[in-house]
Structure 1
Amino acid sequence: MMFYLGIFITATCAVLFAFLDYIQDRSLFIALSFLVRIVQACGNAAEVTAAFTIIALEFPDSVATTFSALETCSGIGYIFGPTIGGALYEAGGFILPFTATGGLLFLMGIITYLYLPPSQEDCPDEVKKGAGFLNLIRIPTVAVSSFAIAVTSSGIGFLSATLEPYVRANFKLSPLFTGLIFIIVGGTYAVSAPFWGRVCDKVTQPKIITMVGSLLCILGFTLIGPAPFMPFQP
């Protein structure tokens, strides 16, 4: 139920955000934008959490590989999302990308409701007796892993908030070609996710992969800037 509710909330907020363009008052526009996006984030969190839970329960022997397959789908979204969004923006302005996204999410919600196997009515006893969030976050391994995930996710947001305006302002690219630049991020993500998931399941400990990934992120952001000590011009 939480999975379907999350999809419905996310889709509804996407459609609502499209019509904020009709608000003329600047302060009201900003306030409602924050409100809609906050509610949408809550819906997305519910949807993703439910999806991860379903995967963990259905594929307990290959969690990392299955999670990586799901992350590959996210990478595909990162590939086509900016490009298609830019094309829709050029074709229909501010409204079209958000209404198209919301409509597609509603359609996906209906399809998953019709074809997703029914879940068990009762949670397993080990799930009911499991530790709460605060107890889990006190475990050093869980805390460090959570921090690494939060920082990595923030990095993707940093690129959207800073790199896109920089490229558009300095290179005078259209929304379509600006979106094409972000294919690199999504493409690399989609291709590498299954590989790293397989490595976690079959080769080495996940903590080693986390360290390698963190070092690669540090290197990437150091080069994007570039950092002041790098011998490159921005």
Structure 2
Amino acid sequence: QRDGGVNRLPKPRPAPRTRPARPARPWPARLRRSTIASREEAWAPQPPAHPLMASHDDDEKALGSRKMPRTNRYAKCLVLVCINLSNLVCHSVYSVLASFFPQEARAKGLSDEPIGLVFAVFAAVIFISAPFVSTALNSHGKRAVYVSGQAIVAVGTMFFACADNITNLPAYFSWCFVLRCVQGFGSALEETAAYALIAEIDPEAVSFNLGVTEISTGLGYMIGPTVGGFLFSVGGFALPFVAIGVALLPAILLILWIVPDDRLTGRQQAAAREELAASTPMRHLLARPQIFAIALTAILGNSDYAFLEPTLAGHVESIATSSTAVGMLFSVTSLTYTLAAPLMGWLSHKDKMGPRNVIILGIALQAAGFLLIGPSPLLPLAHRAEEAMSLSVLCGALFLFGLGEAMSMTPLMEDMMLSCVDRKDDAINALSALMTSCFSLGQMIGPLIGSFMAARLGFRWASTLLALGLMLHACVLVYLQRLSKPHQAGSMLAALTGQLPHSPVGADELSALNAHGDDIRVAHGDIDHDDDGGSSDAARLQRKWQS
């Protein structure tokens, strides 16, 4: 009333002015994700049971292009590098004795048979222990098994250096024998867990990763005698073992830092047992002549190289007077094998060759190498053995042997897959276990047979008998190939049915053709595709196959 009787309402307060929300700024690249967080994300367990597989949608394109996803690519590469480094060192443990241990053991008073046992027991323990490591992988995880194997190998190798201080002959042999058993058990843990880790690093590129691992395996066999002979000449008996044991420690620490604990839960263990029960038993594979013959090839291929380890040093004493020179002779074979293995894998995929032909040619080259290493008494230059055994002839023979080793060993897995009448996915686990067992068995019996025959017949006749055995096995493979003709029309049948081409078409294969008649695409000129089914195509294919 005091302002003239005008009842004025208070002015409303203006609404506060708000700014539009800005999108959050991304963290700088170096702070976007910490190292530990990215490592845990890369190895976080996912439902597909592949801890290393990424679960991000933006990484599907990377998976489809056979490249590791960006979120865990560097962690995978680092794990693969660590596995290959430890694999190289562990395989050099097996071959490091070849350049100096036989001479030192003979100086202590050991004969060739105990020396061969020391070499052979390493692979024997792997052959016995490897089938049981899968249980430890399921219960304790891959990281624990892998690191435990590396630690056992490192400790056993370093304790081997104390053998030179033992003067009692039985105690010296027992010490070396027991420590080689310890090294073999640790290698069984390490190798089995390494293959399991490689299979999970990138399931889309398992073959490539395994190929890289095979290169480190060949390098380990190659540098073992060479490095062992050099370190022995520099620091005596103990230095090679201490150096190799210490070299494993960085790989152990890196694996502990990168790989998290991956123990399986109870449900995952049950799923793993079901998958193992669904796979093809190994005894069913060995019942087939084609697979049995290729398994025997794997045994012979490893045993003939192991044959040289306890015997070659004594045979070339007049030429290679030092342990370093003996190690260089071994490196000729290992280097040839390492460099030729990728080329032989490519050659075995060619239609004109095929894996079986490459294997047979490789066995023939191995036999030729053994005939020249002696040289064999059956050759015309046998009466001039001392003159014929020159350094150039030895290097040429070892080169032929290494090339034949690469040709006969690289296509084995592919040939066994082609020889399996079951589906490849069901038989892959059994085939992998079979190959590992055959490799270890060959490494076990090679030094035993080599030491036994060299002590009683001499190196020249021992290598000659081994060459004749290789030739006989090559003839058996040729006979089986001509009997079943697996590599001529078998590739077409395998493409149609997913079955193995080494056996004639039976009822199961014919029913598979009839069931999938609509999907048949035959490249052969005189087999047509019918719209009403695949029965006519299957009948023609069966008649042509049986003829």
What's the TM-score once normalised by structure 1's chain length? Answer: 0.83
Which of 234, 239, 251 is the matching residue for 1:96?
Answer: 239
In 1, the alpha carbon distance for the partners of 2:205 and 2:182 equals 33
CA distance in 1, matches of 2:207, 2:361: 16
Distance in 2 (alpha carbons) for counterparts of 1:101 and 1:153: 23
Structure 2 CA distance for partners of 1:227 and 1:207, relative to 1, 3 Å: same
* 2:329 matched residue in structure 1: 181
Higher helix share: 1
- Hey, what's the Cα distance between the residues in 1 that align with 2:196 and 2:286? 18
Q: Aligned partner of 2:247: which letter?
A: L
Partner of 1:190: 338
Q: 1:132 to 1:8 in 2, by over 3 A?
A: farther
Residue 171 of structure 1 aligns to a residue whose secondary structure is coil
User: d(CA) in 1 for partners of 2:361 and 2:193?
Assistant: 28
**Do residues 219 (structure 1) and 362 (structure 2) align?**
no
Contact kept, 8 Å, 1:85 with 1:179, in 2: the verdict is yes
Take 2:366 and 2:300, find their aligned partners in 1: how far apart are those partners?
Answer: 10
Q: Look up the SS of the partner of 1:24 in the other structure.
A: coil
**Is 1:28 paired with 2:171?**
yes
Offset of residue 197 of structure 1: 2.8
Equivalent pair of 2:320/2:326 in contact (CA under 8 Å): no
C-alpha offsets along residues 202-227 of structure 1, whole Å, 9 cap, x if unaligned? 75654443333322222211221222
C-alpha distance in 2 between matches for 1:173 and 1:185 = 19
Amino acid of the residue matched to residue 189 of structure 1? Y
Q: Where do 1:35-184 residues align within 5 Å?
A: 35-56=178-199, 65-115=208-258, 121=264, 122=268, 124=272, 125-167=274-316, 169-171=317-319, 173-184=321-332
The answer to whether the 8 A contact 1:68-1:197 is kept is: no
In 2, the alpha carbon distance for the partners of 1:119 and 1:207 equals 40
Sequence identity percentage = 30
Structure 1 residues 142, 63: closer, same or farther in 2, change over 3 A?
Answer: farther
- The answer on whether the counterparts of 1:75 and 1:189 sit within 8 Å (CA) in structure 2 is yes
Question: Which range moved further: 102-111 or 64-73?
Answer: 64-73
Contact 1:65 1:194 in 2 (8 A): no
Cα shift at 1:4? 2.6
Distance 1:155 1:57, change over 3 A: farther
Corresponding letter in the other structure for 2:182: V
CA distance in structure 1 between the partners assigned to 2:202 and 2:298 by the alignment: 22
Residues 14 and 101 in structure 1, CA contact (< 8 A), matched pair in contact too: yes
Deviations 1:173-222 (A, max 9, x none): 22222212222111101101112233446756544433333222222112
Give the distance between the partners of 2:358 and 2:295, measured in 1 at CA. Answer: 14
Deviation at 1:60, TM superposition (A): 5.6
Cα 1:225–1:140 change in 2 (3 A) is: same
Q: Which amino acid aligns with 1:228?
A: P
The one-letter amino acid paired with 2:184 is: A
Structure 1 residues 142 and 67, CA gap change in structure 2 (3 angstroms): farther
RMSD: 2.9
Deviation at 1:62, TM superposition (A): 5.9
2:13 equivalent in structure 1: none
Give, as a single letter, the amino acid of the residue that structure 2 aligns with 1:209: V
TM-superposed CA distance for 1:26, in Å, is 0.6
Deviates most, 150-159 or 94-103: 150-159
After superposing the two structures, state which structure 1 stretch, 58-67 or 143-152, moved more.
58-67
The Cα of 1:83 is off from its aligned counterpart by 1.9
**Closer, same or farther: CA 6–213 of 1 in aligned 2, 3 Å:** farther
CA separation in 1, counterparts of 2:202 and 2:357? 23
CA shift digits 1:16-60 (9 cap, x unpaired): 111121212111111221121123123223322333344455566
8 Å Cα contact 1:69/1:193 also seen in 2: no
**Highest RCO, 1 vs 2 (Cα 8 Å, sep ≥ 6):** 1
Instruction: Write the deviation string for residues 141-192 of structure 1: whole angstroms up to 9, x where unpaired.
Output: 443333222222222222121112222x212522222212222111101101
Q: Letter of the 2:230 partner, please give it.
A: A
In structure 1, runs of 5+ residues without a counterpart are none
Confirm or deny: 8 A CA contact 2:152 2:183 kept in the other structure: yes
Distance change (3 Å), C-alpha of 1:140 and 1:52 = farther
2:161 pairs with 1:18: yes
CA distance, structure 2, for counterparts of residue 43 and residue 137 of structure 1: 28
How far did residue 98 of structure 1 move?
Answer: 0.7
| Count, aligned residues | 233
Give the structure-2-normalised TM-score: 0.39
